[in-house]
A and B are shown apart, each in its own frame.
Chain A
Amino acid sequence: MGPLTLIALIAGLSLFGFFLGRWKSIAMAGSGAPLHSRPNHYGSFVLVWTAVPALVVLTLLVIARPLILDQTIRSHLPSDIVTSGDVSLAISGVEQVADGLKAVTPDEYENIHLGVVSARRIFADHGIPLGGDVSPYQLTAAIAANDTERLITLTTTTAVVGALALGLFLAFIRIKPRLRARNSVERVVLTLLIAASTVAILTTVGIVLSLLFQALQFFSMVSPINFYFGTVWDPRFAAAGSSESGQFGILPLAWGTAYISLFALLVAVPIGLLSAIYMAEYASPKVRAISKPTLEILAGIPTIVYGFFALVTVGPMIRDYLALPLGLGNSGNNVVTAGVVMGIMIIPYVSSLSDDIITAVPRAMREGSLGLGATRSETIKRVVLPAALPGIVGAILLAASRAIGETMIVVLAAGVAANLSANPFAEMTTITVKIVNQLTGDLEFTSPQTLVAFALGITLFVITLGLNVIALTIVRKYREQYE
């Protein structure tokens, strides 16, 4: 039976178990015994103990299946292939043959076995094209693989059916009036809830492991020193089999990222912070009610929209009115364009968080200052802002982390040339742009040209993670102070 049939069987039997358990508990209650839990709990008790062990068995065997098959095929490969290194290619070749063998009739199988007809021809009759003819090792390996597969399928079916029957039987006979069915079911539900809450941790672990694994492969080809201190980014193209590896210096990319983020902060911090101050301290409730959500619209707009805006509106404007007259550049794709648009994007991150932080400053502090005869702006500058400073710094760091990790705006508006230049109207590129460049198109997970993206990725992850941890700690400490 296939996994889907087994799942259906599990679903059906556990549902049956639910009604069985329910029925038994009602019958027991009818004979006068006071029940610990409600009949539905007894039903769920049987359901859980029928389904869970069977599902666990099924999951384990489904995961084990490809690993065992892989091992079987591997053990049948001739030693010259194992040493030549093209193992994965050989394995997929055998898998193809194994698939083909499943389609043939016993007579045809006999013919192939005797070598009367070539397997390739018979497979072709069944609509399975093969690249070349089947070599003897492939045939034996494929037969062994198919045998193992049948065995695994049989084992899986037996194990799942056994687990189902055993679970159902044991759970059913355990039903007694004093059985704490509810507690037992609730423990299972709690386990599920805990499992769900660990998905977040698993995501982080997954990110770190997957990036690290590929990045380490990259560092085995290119030394980390060349990567982190190289000033030239020239990866070349990933031509198959070419030994040319190019140069992978991250510094131009890091500089571009930093330069663009700096421009973004130059735009976003004054606008965001002053807007937040105005909205929190001066604006009438009416103005606030309109302006706050209006600014927050900016946070809801997808970054691809900003990218397009930069590409078709801001870029040409900056080229025609700033870069060309100043004689500093002739392209709309430059640091200023990307920085300005990114700045617009992060205005709401600065303004919203700063607004929250400023309004969290206790009223008493403001009144203390106003009561001494300070004007409002003096109160803000001398009392409110200093008190809110750590929180605002946190907000700015969070915004900076956004800017560093932002992708679509820079992909469309910053350019692709890796430059180490101080000219803000020069084309520059960032870490994220290069990740996109290296990972779109044909991928080869063995070439440094592809793997370098993961080294860039883990670097980006570590930088943003560091900024976030610092920012969130500052903001949290700040909040606790006034709670």
Chain B
Amino acid sequence: MTEASAALPAAQATVVRKIDIGLQRRYRAERRFRAYGIVALSIGIACVVMLFSSIVSRGYTAFEQTRVTLLVDFDPKVIAPNGDRSPDAVMSGDAFRFDELISTALQKTLDIEPDDEDGLYDALDLLSKGSTPMLRKLIADKPSLIGTRSAVDFYATGDVDAFIKGTIHADVPESQRNIKDRHIKLIDRLENTGTMHLAFNTGLFTFGASSRPELAGVGVAAVGSFMMMLVVLTLSLPLGVAGSIYLEEFAPKNRWTDLIEVNINNLAAVPSIVYGMLGLAVFINFMHLPRSASLVGGLVLTLTTLPTIIITTRAALKAVPPSIREAGLGIGASKMQTVFHHVLPLAVPGILTGTIIGLAHALGETAPLLMIGMKAFVVNYPTTPFDPATSLPTQIFMWATEPERAFSERTSAAIMILLAFLLAMNSIAIILRRAFERRW
């Protein structure tokens, strides 16, 4: 600037000096400020990307699982030594006879000599310890199998699964890995014959809690979550909508309603763990409702969701223009009729959107559920809201602290499933909002 002005005639120089307001410096500052913004925004977005890629890259492998297909000889002499082929007979009696079926099948597949016990045990190490009960259940469900020879898919253990997927490396010293060299030889042979292969992991969606990763799934937890969501929906929607209608349409403006208003806004920001403690103290310790029941979980989540639903419902009611209310009142409808016939129907899309978003929050809520004991090892599907249940987020929490690699993979997969549900719910909410958005 100064150089340029020096070159100019004196008269003009004064003019230039007047408008010399440090433009270059100021524009540099402007660009810097802008760059800070871009950097901040990029970091924020990078966090989103990193979070998702971290979860997906860890979890996608869990959707496939290593299976071992064995040709099993359903020998009636072994299965039904006394000739009774009924499911009851199959389910009772010595469990070892089914081990024998598997051992025989393995010996045939891998050409293990009948007297080579170590070889057989090494091969059995590869199969999930849940294989025997599974085979037994299969036969009980389908007695026509007895006497035939058919292929059965067995689960490999979590360690074999991890080895196949390449998360346990063969170049690690043998003493530091669960899969020993002799196992690797067997695995190679099974893989080459196509006996051992990867297949879609249906168990992830249907099984419950298990200490064996290959038999653990989120099915039971998902049902628990679903039951809780039903409880939340049936309680919080009517309560929230009724409360909002009163506050928005009928309540006089006074200290009491002001207090309710402030109170609701604060409740929305109370840490969720506090709701869990309320649930523990009131529902379990005082009312003696069963611990770990989805009913109690639903009640607690109802309380956490209510403020959200009330706030969004009130906004939706507020968005209905007063002219609609005047029209109703003007032809002699009562206030109640005007609200229920005209205002509420128009607010429905907004209310639904808010409800879905509230439910999505409730679905991901973990801490309050830990308080009321929904961190239980639940193997069976709950059938009533009083049964012990667990939920998707608490299942994730329990798996997250398991050291085994196969559980870590499943934790990520369970998170992906949870996020998929949330994504679906939020998409529905967005679509609803777009479809019914009304400009007055």
A138: CB under 8 A from chain B?
A: no
Name A's interface SS. helix
Segment at the A interface, from B114-122, B179-187, B243-251: B243-251
A401: CB under 8 A from chain B?
A: yes
Tell me if A435 and B336 are in contact (CB < 8 A). Answer: no
Chain B 374-403 interface residues, beta-carbon cutoff 8 Å to A: 375, 393, 396-397, 400-401
Select which of A182, A206, A302, A313 is within 8 A of B282 by beta carbon. Answer: A206
The CB with the most chain A CB atoms within 10 A, among B269, B275, B361, B408, is that of B269
B96: CB under 8 A from chain A?
A: no
Contact digits for A440-483, partner B, Cβ 8 Å, 1 yes 0 no: 10010100000001100100110011001100100000000000
Tell me if A432 and B40 are in contact (CB < 8 A). Answer: no
**A-B contacts at CB below 8 angstroms, number:** 257
Tell me if B273 and A210 are in contact (CB < 8 A). Answer: no
- Minimum C-beta distance from B195 to chain A (A): 33
Tell me if A210 and B41 are in contact (CB < 8 A). Answer: no
Closest A residue by C-beta to B40: A274
B320: CB under 8 A from chain A?
A: no
B415: CB under 8 A from chain A?
A: yes
Chain A 161-212 interface residues, beta-carbon cutoff 8 Å to B: 182-183, 186, 189-190, 192-194, 196-201, 203-204, 206-207, 210-211
Closest B residue by C-beta to A378: B26
A199 to B244, CA, bound (A): 11
The CB with the most chain A CB atoms within 10 A, among B33, B45, B360, B370, is that of B33
- Minimum C-beta distance from B148 to chain A (A): 43
B422: CB under 8 A from chain A?
A: yes
Tell me if B33 and A401 are in contact (CB < 8 A). Answer: no
Tell me if B278 and A207 are in contact (CB < 8 A). Answer: yes
> Number of B residues contacting the other chain (C-beta, 8 Å)?
87
Chain A 241-297 interface residues, beta-carbon cutoff 8 Å to B: 270-275, 277-279, 281-283, 291, 294-295, 297
B285: CB under 8 A from chain A?
A: yes
Q: CB-CB < 8 A to A398: which residues of B?
A: 269
Tell me if A182 and B47 are in contact (CB < 8 A). Answer: no
Tell me if B30 and A377 are in contact (CB < 8 A). Answer: yes
A465 to B251, CA, bound (A): 25
Tell me if B306 and A300 are in contact (CB < 8 A). Answer: no
A283 to B334, CA, bound (A): 49
A270 to B33, CA, bound (A): 12
Contact digits for A360-393, partner B, Cβ 8 Å, 1 yes 0 no: 0000000000000101111011000000000000
- Minimum C-beta distance from B256 to chain A (A): 9
Select which of A186, A274, A304 is within 8 A of B366 by beta carbon. Answer: A304
Select which of A193, A375, A464 is within 8 A of B250 by beta carbon. Answer: A193
A23: CB under 8 A from chain B?
A: no
The CB with the most chain B CB atoms within 10 A, among A204, A273, A445, A464, is that of A204
Q: A210-B282, A301-B419 are in contact. Are A278 and B34 (CB under 8 A)?
A: yes
Tell me if A203 and B29 are in contact (CB < 8 A). Answer: no
Tell me if B44 and A351 are in contact (CB < 8 A). Answer: yes
Select which of B266, B271, B278, B310 is within 8 A of A210 by beta carbon. Answer: B278
A308: CB under 8 A from chain B?
A: yes
A407 to B262, CA, bound (A): 25
A401 to B40, CA, bound (A): 22
Tell me if B41 and A279 are in contact (CB < 8 A). Answer: yes
A94: CB under 8 A from chain B?
A: no
- Minimum C-beta distance from A85 to chain B (A): 19
Tell me if B40 and A199 are in contact (CB < 8 A). Answer: no
Q: CB-CB < 8 A to B103: which residues of A?
A: none
A47 to B259, CA, bound (A): 34
B58: CB under 8 A from chain A?
A: yes
B411: CB under 8 A from chain A?
A: yes
B295: CB under 8 A from chain A?
A: no
Tell me if A197 and B242 are in contact (CB < 8 A). Answer: yes
Chain B 253-285 interface residues, beta-carbon cutoff 8 Å to A: 259-260, 262-267, 269-275, 277-278, 280-282, 285
A228: CB under 8 A from chain B?
A: no
Segment at the A interface, from B48-56, B127-135, B165-173: B48-56
Q: A294-B45, A436-B370, A439-B280 are in contact. Are A375 and B246 (CB under 8 A)?
A: no
Q: CB-CB < 8 A to B360: which residues of A?
A: 300
Chain B 402-430 interface residues, beta-carbon cutoff 8 Å to A: 408, 411-412, 415, 418-419, 422, 426
Q: CB-CB < 8 A to A457: which residues of B?
A: 273-274, 277
A104: CB under 8 A from chain B?
A: no
Select which of A201, A274, A378 is within 8 A of B37 by beta carbon. Answer: A274
A347: CB under 8 A from chain B?
A: yes
Chain B 10-57 interface residues, beta-carbon cutoff 8 Å to A: 21, 26-27, 29-30, 33-34, 36-41, 43-45, 47-48, 50-51, 54-55
Taking A197-B243, A197-B260 as given, write out 20 further A-B residue pairs in contact, using a Cβ cutoff of 8 Å, ordered by the A residue number.
A186-B335, A186-B336, A189-B336, A196-B242, A200-B263, A200-B307, A203-B306, A204-B263, A210-B282, A275-B44, A278-B41, A291-B45, A297-B48, A303-B367, A305-B55, A305-B364, A344-B47, A375-B27, A405-B274, A411-B397
Can you list 6 A-B pairs with a CB-CB distance of less than 8 A? A193-B245, A200-B243, A279-B41, A375-B30, A376-B30, A401-B269
Q: A residues within 8 Å of B by Cβ? A: 182-183, 186, 189-190, 192-194, 196-201, 203-204, 206-207, 210-211, 213-214, 270-275, 277-279, 281-283, 291, 294-295, 297-298, 300-309, 311-313, 344, 347, 351, 373, 375-378, 380-381, 398, 401-402, 404-408, 411-412, 432, 435-436, 439-440, 443, 445, 453-454, 457, 460-461, 464-465, 468-469, 472
**7 nearest A-B pairs in the assembled complex, by CB-CB distance:** A405-B271, A302-B364, A278-B37, A274-B40, A196-B242, A210-B281, A193-B246
